[in-house]
Amino acid sequence: MLRNNIEMDLKMRLIESGLTQTEVAGKVGVTLSYVNRITKGREQIVNKTFIKMLDELGYDIKLVYEKRDKG
């Protein structure tokens, strides 16, 4: 099972950074609609098969976000 709420995590990171979805989309080279689909949970980021395999093997998946130092 995927323990993170990736959509909420992304929304919170956008707020923390002060960047808009449009700005992030431009910086990473994707469309605004793609970023919006991710934040609304309509676009799958983590492969379902990968999750199912690890779940079958007895593992939960937990993504960890670590802020890099600007320097």
Q: Where are the domains of the chain?
A: 6-56
For the domain made up of 6-56, give the CATH fold. 434 Repressor (Amino-terminal Domain) (1.10.260)
pLDDT(71) > 70: no
3-state helix, strand, coil in the chain (%, to 5): 50, 5, 45
| Phi-psi domain of 41 (left: phi exceeds 0; alpha: psi -120 through 50; beta: other) | left
pLDDT tens track for 11-58: 999 999 999 999 999 999 999 999 999 999 888 888 889 889 889 999
